[in-house]
Amino acid sequence: MLTKKLLQAAFVAWASFTLTFAILYWLPGDPVSIMLGADAQVDPAAFAKIRAQYGFDRPLIIQYADALWRALHLDFGTSLVTGKSVTASIAEAAPVTAQLAFIALALSVILGTTLAVLSLDLPGFPRFGVIFSKIPSIFVAVPTFVVGLLLLQFFAFTLRWVPATGSDSWLTLVLPALTLAIPGAGLLGQVLSNSLHQTYSETFIRLMRSRGYSELRILGHALHNASLPAFTMAGLIVGGTLASSVVTETVFSRQGIGRLMQMGVTNKDINLVCGLIVFSALTYVVINLLVDLLYPLLDPRVEYRA
């Protein structure tokens, strides 16, 4: 099973790299022309020399094979825009996005779990379950950029509680993290709510109540039994966070992976975008592999074979 997962991870990374390379190559516009700018006046000989310098004068299959070989050695060449090593650029931007993703995931788990519990209508608690059960669907339905703009308008421009942009202090993390956390909390809340409702219909819950257990203790057992689907969803949320970081970091002017991706696609920077796609794909598959490996620790009934 572990070998199969590793082969799947390798295939995902290769397919992501190949598809990205093909899409960027077939997009309109020449990378060197974009790099030089629309107003640049370069004679044909100099232009051809620059194309040869970056290897764009070679046949497509040779360009692809060379880029793939270098990618296997984690060498994605030099960015056409910044002139820096792509690997170094990713290493510089990754901690910024990782910090944001970690905080967003923590907020998603807290908020999603709270919404799922409040949707239960437990004995002795206010009966607002129907209302809270609808909130996760709203969180999922609202686009990320709309959430970000609403948070900016209210908390940054109207109340002036936190900075609107930047990445130089912990306060600048508040709005981007909330922007990424709200859709994740919606997904997590939906899955956990359904799982909790199924768990509360099982016999052991009625047995615990008949023996006089408190509702809080029963809830703890129910959350433990209902957590596996939500645990899987948490791994998927990380992947969604990486995808949404392009919009979020652009809206909030943060210098992370998402901002690098936006810059690379805009300038048709094949080296930079391919490196970022492979990095994102590997991050996604590694996290999901870790989720699979941790399953037996959460539920001894699940076996994992190499």
Would you call 39 helix, strand, or coil by DSSP?
Answer: coil
Residue 188 sits in the same domain as residue 276: no
Upper half-sphere CA count for residue 230 (Cβ side, 13 Å): 29
159-199 pLDDT per residue, tens = 888 888 777 778 888 899 999 899 889 989 999 999 998 88
Give me the pLDDT at residue 300, please. Answer: 58
Kindly report the backbone phi and psi dihedral angles of residue 102, in degrees, each rounded to the nearest multiple of 5, phi listed first: -65, -45
Give the per-residue pLDDT at 39. Answer: 64
| CATH number for 208 | 1.10.3720.10
Report CA torsion sign: 234, 240, 246, 248. Answer: negative
Q: How many domains does the chain have?
A: 2
Q: Same domain for 259 and 281? A: no
Same domain, 38 and 176: no
> Could you tell me how far CA 80 lies from the centroid of its own chain?
25
Look at residue 107 in the predicted model and tell me its pLDDT.
Answer: 92
Intervals of the chain under pLDDT 50? 305
Question: Quick one: 215 and 159 in the same domain?
Answer: yes
* Domain boundaries, position 197: 93-266
pLDDT at residue 303, as a whole number: 57
- Whole-angstrom distance, CA of residue 282 vs CA of residue 280: 6
| Rounded-to-integer distance, Cα 125 and Cα 120, Å | 9
